[in-house]
Amino acid sequence: MALLITDVDVKDIRFPTSLLADGSDAMHTDPDYSCAYVTIKTNKGIEGYGLTFTLGRGTEIVVQACKSMSYLVKNQNVTEIFENFGSFWRKLTSESQLRWIGPEKGVTHLATAAIVNALWDLWARIENKPVWQLLVDLTPEQLVSTIDFRYITDVITKEEAIKLLKDNEKGKKERVELLRKNGYPAYTTQVGWLGYSDHKVQELCAKFLALGFTSFKAKVGQNLKDDIKRCQLIRDAIGYENKLMLDANQIWDVNEAIEWMKQLMKFKPVWIEEPTSPDDVLGHAIIANELRPHGIGVATGEMCANRVMFKQLLQAKAIDYCQIDSARIGGINEILAVYLMAKKRGVPVCPHAGGVGLCEMVQHLQMWDFISLTGSTENRVIEYVDQQHEHFEHPVRVQNACYMPPTAPGYSTKLKQDCITKYSYPSGQQWTDMYEKGIFQKPSN
Ligand SMILES: [Mg+2]
C-alpha cells in the first residue's frame, strides 16, 4: 500500500513573551513568540511536524495561507514527493493563483516553510534519522535534486553544487565523530534584549560566561547613548577576549547605520546585524564597504525573502556573514541552495535562531554544513536563545556552549500535546486564564 498524505492540520500557537520583554529589539518591542504549526498526516499513522515562526498578531493569516496551500499536499504519494522533491517544491511555490500574493516572499513563503519543514520531518521519521543525518547520508546527486535552481544558475549550477559536495566527501566520518564529541559552537543573544534592565544584562552576562559562552550579542539602534552604555556594560562583564556582536533589526537608514556604528566601533563588534531594510542589497553593500576597514562585518538574512535576495547579497559583497533562517525562506530545499551559494562565494553561514523552534531546526542544517559542505566551524556560530525549548518533545541540548547533535528521528519540530492544548490561540487554557485575569484582552469576534 502506498504511503499517502491524508490530511494537513494547521494550528495557531502563541506564547505571551511580551510580558517579560523577552525577544524585544529596536523594531519589535513587544513580541508574543508564536508559530503556525503544521501536522502532516498519512494513511499509515506516521506524521510530520513543521512550523514557521511569527510574533503574535498575524499568525492567523499565516495559518490561513497554510490551509489554502494544503490542497497541493493532500492525497499526494509521499515516496513520489521525496523522489522529485525539487519539482514538488516548485509546485508549492509556483501555484498559478497563490503565487500572485507572493511570489516566494511574505506570508505565502512563511506558509511554504511550515509545510516544507513538516515534509522534511516526515521524511526523516520515515528514514528513522535526525534530519542532519538524513542530509549527510543523501548522495550529492540526491541532495541537489531537492533544490529548485531557477533564478540562481548565474551564480551556481546543479553540476557545480554536486562538485562542491563531492570535493568535501573526504573526512565526513571523522567530522561526524568530532560533532558527536564536541558539538557545534553557539552564541547567546540573551544578554542583550533591548527591554532588559542594566542589572539583568549584567546578571545574564555572568550566567552565560559561567556556562562557557565566548560570543555574545546585544540589540542596539533605538538610542545611541543607551547603546554606548549597554555595550560598555557588556564589555566590562565579558572582557575583550570574548566576541561581541550587535543587532539593529533594520532600524537605520544606510548613512545613519554607518555613522551610528562608527560611534560603537571602540567596542570592537564582530558584526552589525540587519543594519537597514532587509531588501536593500546595495545599501548593505555600502555599509559593508564602509565598516569592513574598521574590522566590523555586516550580517543579515533572518528576514531575507528568498534565495534570489541571498544571491544578490552575495553577488554585491554586501554580507560578511550569511544568516539563513529555517522558517522564513521556503524550508530546507531553498536553504540548501543558499548554503551552496555562500560556500561558493566564501561567506560563512551563521544561522539565525531563537524564536519558536528555530534553534531546534537550524542545528540540523549547520551540522550538515560542517560535515558535508564546508568542513569548517571557523567564523561560524549558531545563535542560541534559551527560550521556548520546554514545549518541544526533543528540545536542543547545549553543553559547554555547544549544540549537541540531535539523536531522535525528525527535524526536532514536534510540540508536546500539553503545549498545544495550553497555548492554542485564542482558546487555549493559558489564554483564557489570562483574559480572565485581565492580562490580555480577549480578541473580538
Ligand atoms: Mg537578529
Check: CB of residue 363 under 8 Å from CB of residue 176: no
Cell of 310: 541571498
> CA torsion angle for 283, 341, 91, 277 (degrees, to 10)?
-20
DSSP β-bridge partners for residue 41: 7, 47
> What's the gap in Å between 274 CA and the centre of ligand 1?
7
Give the position of cell 518541544. 392
CA 427 / ligand 1 centre spacing (Å) = 31
Q: Which is it for strands 321-322 and 47-54: parallel, antiparallel or unpaired? A: unpaired
Query: How many angstroms separate the alpha carbon of residue 308 from the centre of ligand 1?
Result: 20
The Cβ of residue 20 has, within 10 Å, a number of other Cβ atoms equal to 13
Residues found in the chain: 445
Cis peptide before 426 (omega within 30 of 0): yes
In this structure, are residues 405 and 179 in contact, taking their beta carbons and an 8 Å threshold?
yes
Centre of ligand 1 to C-alpha 355, Å, is 10
Q: What residues act catalytically? A: 219, 352
Distance CA 429, CA 425 (A): 9
Q: Do residues 29 and 1 lie in contact, with contact meaning Cβ atoms separated by under 8 Å?
A: no
Query: Which triple of cell numbers denotes residue 343?
Result: 560556500
Give the distance (Å) from ligand 1 centre to CA of residue 30.
15
152 CA distance to ligand 1 centroid (A)?
Answer: 25
Strand partners of residue 42: 5
The amino acid at residue 286 is I
Neighbouring-strand partners of residue 410: 130
Identify the pLDDT of residue 27. Answer: 85
Average pLDDT across each block of 10 residues of the chain; the chain has 445 residues. List them in order. 97 94 80 97 98 97 98 98 98 97 97 98 98 98 98 98 97 98 96 84 95 96 94 96 97 98 98 98 98 98 97 98 96 98 98 97 98 97 95 97 98 98 97 96 86
Give the per-residue pLDDT at 193.
78
Question: 10 Å Cβ neighbour count for 160?
Answer: 16
Which pLDDT belongs to residue 194? Answer: 78
Among 239, 247, 296, 238, smallest CA distance to 276 is for 247
Q: pLDDT value at position 155?
A: 98
Q: CA nearest 366: which of 335, 389, 387? A: 335
Tell me how far the alpha carbon of residue 275 lies from the centroid of ligand 1, in angstroms: 10
Question: Between vectors from CA 309 to CA 360 and to CA 318, what angle results, nearest 5°?
Answer: 95
Identity of the residue numbered 252: W
For residue 53, give Cα distances in angstroms to 86, 106, 384, 395.
23, 12, 15, 16
Model confidence, pTM? 0.97
Residue 274 burial class via C-beta count within 10 angstroms: exposed 0-12, middle 13-18, buried 19 and up = buried
Q: What is the DSSP letter of 10?
A: E
Give the other-Cβ count within 10 Å of 313's Cβ.
28
Q: How many helices (H) and strands (E) does the chain have?
A: 17, 12
Question: pLDDT at position 195, please?
Answer: 78
How far, in Å, from the CA of 41 to the mean position of ligand 1?
A: 33
Find the 44 Cα to ligand 1 centroid distance in Å: 40
Rounded to the nearest whole angstrom, what is the distance from the C-alpha of residue 302 to the centroid of ligand 1? 7
Question: Is-contact 180 173, C-beta < 8 A?
Answer: no
Task: Give the sign of the dihedral formed by CA 203, CA 206, CA 209, CA 214.
Answer: positive
Burial classification of residue 149, based on how many CB atoms lie within 10 Å of its CB (0-12 exposed, 13-18 middle, 19 or more buried): middle
Nearest residue to 417 via CA among 102, 43, 47, 24 = 47
What is the distance between the alpha carbons of residues 317 and 307, in angstroms, rounded to a whole number?
15
Q: Determine the distance separating the centroid of ligand 1 and the alpha carbon of 273, expressed in angstroms.
A: 6
